Amino acid sequence: STQTGQAGNVTVGASDSVNLSGTLTDGSGGIVAEASNGGNAGGVEINTQQLSIQEGAQVAVSSNNGDGIAGDIKLSASRVNLDYGRISAETDGGGSTDPANISLNSINSLNLSNDSSISASTKTGQAGSINLNQADKVALNNSSISAQANGEGGNAGGINLHTSQLSLEDAAQILASNVSANQGGDINLRGLEQLEVTESLISTSTQTGQAGNVTVGASESVNLSGTLTDGSGGIVAEASNGGNAGGVEINTQQLSIQEGAQVAVSSNNGDGIAGDIKLNASRVNLDYGHISAETDGGGSTNPANISLNNVNSLNLTDNSSISASTQTGQAGSINLNQADNPAASVSLNNSSISAQANGEKGNAGGINLHTSQLNLANAAEISASNLSANQGGDINLRGLDTLQVTESLISTSTQTGQAGSVTIKASDSVNLSGILTDGSGGILAQATDGGSAGNVEITAPLVNIQEGAQVTVSSPSGQAGNLSITADILNLNQGQLTAITGGNGSQLGANINLELADALFLSNESLISAEAIGEANGGNITINLTSDQGIFVAFPSTGENGSDIIAKAEGGSGGRIDITSNLGLYGIQEGKAIDGNGTNDIDASSDFGISGQITINSLAIDPSQGLSELPIDTVAPQLDQTCSPTGSGRNEFTVTGRDGLPPSPTDMLSSQRAIADLGTPTNPTVTQPTSTTNPTSSPEQLVEAQGWIIDEQGNVFLTAHVPSSNNQGAWQPQPSCQADFSGKS
């Protein structure tokens, strides 16, 4: 030791073991090199097979009360055990060019228990680093490894552990921290096969400075479980008083986060920023686990993003969450396999993925998921939201084969700002089913307090919306976006497509565009509605069934209202409804969609404004197509038409039913319309007539009688021409069947 001078070094070599136990009455005990009044402390070096430090004993170097420096601690031992033991290197300042480091070499196992610690610290200078090389196993139980700068001008050192197995349990901690506006140290955990963190913490932190990064590499697994009494637990990089937090990077095959543990970066109470979270793992499982990137503000140019790369499966259960949020700055984005092949599956059960701006000036980040299968169930949510007049983030779901949303929600939202849009592309199907307890469920883009809602765009061969689920764009007091679905088949079974817009008459209504190849089915009180509130104009609904076999079927009503298509307005004009279906529309017609009417209606009315237009284009066969209209005026008959046949000469035609014919060519044949049994046909014997040949002669031309003549003897002769009027015997028939043969004219 020394006060103001240079203390010497301590070197110990023991072929078997070095055991340090207990303290003196002043608290000191073990092996120490120190300078007490600004001098320079020496170093300590121990070489042995087993080093045991317990009951308060320590191996330490320190230089206090001045600008002195301390030497390094170098430990080479196969087994190092600390049981309420300490290894420390401490300086007050001046160590910026020569910090006091701790090196553990040739270690097979390192065990710390019962509030043991390994620490390198400074106040105003540069703290030393802690380095462990190629250990097989490191275990911390209610103990800590730390590199700290505790003063206003200090820089924390780093922690570098190279070991195959690392476990922390029972409030164990690995920490690198600094207080002031200087640099915090990094934590690097490498060479790992497995990392186990149970009710413990790995953390870099600062108050007003720059916190370090945490990097973990494990060839097999990283398992984080449980929390400390203050709620923290897992792997965290944070800045607590306006400083900048570091980032977290984890590379492994399987990442498991459960029982409240978290992977988090955060910068609170100021304008600081946080680093990114980068997770590279084939399997990521969260069971009441959390991944979060949070800033209060200032991150407009450098938001804290969350990236999950090379992921094969991602599973979130039991209220787990992945979130990126801010108060007044730019929230980060959440990206899954953005530049990689799609994940095989992503599943959320009663869990959430969210990008949020919670303050008045914040901008929400986006959510980009690249996966083949995406399944949301049991009140799961994917959401991007902002409060203020700023920009909300978009949600992009791509690379999908199938999307299944069951009693869950995908949404973008804002209050007074611009909500983001939702874009979904699937090669197989999109299936939305059921609602949450608040009545929402499906896909939603909304603005709740005068802001503008985003768009919703869905592309998939098959889209099923059922059991109360809905796709909605809504801004009751602002401008809503557009809702677009491109599919082969769209099936609404108690499902809804709604666009709600409000505001003044100058605002355009929200539109619904359905580009469908083959079929649109409506059943069980389904609804397609573009509704305008207040003085706004109703949105337009366009339904195009583009294939030659395109058909639109609305099944008979099963409830009070039926299935309706509505483009209504209150004070503004009703919207326009355009429907094109090559094979026609079945089961639905134009009419007022009145509550309780029990019919399927197409309605483009306005309560107090001008009603909209309904246009239906169909290439279905018209029964009258190709028929010529018969003339109303017939040719004047040359024969008397007033002579009716007697009753015995009348014919009869009796209709007994349609038998095997449908009501019209466009209607289906009902099973109730049976084909009449006409009996079994027989083959009658046909007698061939014998032909005879008559001499050929030119027949006389027959001419209808136009009148007759009565000669002097009273004989009557029919004539082909009307006789001249000077012939007393001439007579022309009058329009009566009662002829006068008296010869009187």
Q: How does DSSP assign 628-639, residue by residue?
A: PPPPSSPPPPSS
Residue 648 gets which letter from DSSP? G
Strands (E), 123-158: 130-141, 144-149
Q: Other CB atoms closer than 10 Å to residue 194's CB: what's the count?
A: 17
Nearest Cα residue to 303 out of 242, 237, 247: 247
Three-state DSSP class for residue 297: coil
What is the reported pLDDT for 6? 67
What is the reported pLDDT for 594? 85
What is the reported pLDDT for 505? 46
Backbone angles phi, psi at 647, to 5 degrees: -55, -30
The list of the chain residues with pLDDT below 70 reads 1-7, 37-39, 66, 93-97, 181, 298-301, 389, 503-509, 619-706, 708, 714, 716-717, 720-745
HSE, CB side, 13 Å, CA atoms: give it for residue 433: 11
Query: Residues 38, 4: contact at Cβ < 8 Å?
Result: yes
pLDDT tens, position by position, 86-134: 999 988 765 456 788 999 998 999 999 999 999 998 887 788 899 999 8
* Cα four-point dihedral sign 721, 722, 724, 729: positive
What is the reported pLDDT for 449? 82
Three-state DSSP class for residue 647: helix
Nearest Cα residue to 90 out of 42, 122, 43, 45: 122
Q: Other CB atoms closer than 10 Å to residue 739's CB: what's the count?
A: 10
The region that residue 583 occupies, defined by phi over 0 for left and psi between -120 and 50 for alpha, beta otherwise, is: alpha
Q: How far apart are CA 506 and CA 251, in angstroms?
A: 54
Query: Residues 113, 141: contact at Cβ < 8 Å?
Result: yes
Residue 727 structure tokens: 């012939």
Residues 6+ apart with CB under 8 A from 550: 516, 517, 518, 519, 580, 581, 582, 583
What is the DSSP code string of 230-277? Answer: TS--EEEEEESSS-B---EEEE-SEEEEETT-EEEEEE-SSS-----E
Q: How far apart are CA 606 and CA 612, in angstroms?
A: 7
Q: How far apart are CA 467 and CA 435, in angstroms?
A: 8
What is the DSSP code string of 435-469? Answer: --TTS--EEEEEESSS-B---EEEE-SEEEEETT-
Q: How far apart are CA 720 and CA 520, in angstroms?
A: 70
Residue 350 structure tokens: 């009663």
Q: How far apart are CA 630 and CA 623, in angstroms?
A: 16
What is the reported pLDDT for 656? 57
> Tokens 């018969």 — which residue?
630
> Tokens 């065990």 — which residue?
111
pLDDT tens, position by position, 553-562: 999 988 888 9
What is the DSSP code string of 79-109? Answer: EEEEES-EEEEEESS-TTSS---EEEES-SE
Nearest Cα residue to 118 out of 134, 136, 138: 138
Q: CA 673: distance to chain centroid?
A: 48
What is the reported pLDDT for 674? 47
What is the reported pLDDT for 719? 72
Cross-strand bridge partners of residue 497: 471, 528
Query: Residues 133, 160: contact at Cβ < 8 Å?
Result: no
Classify residue 498 by burial, with Cβ atoms within 10 Å: 0-12, 13-18, 19+: buried
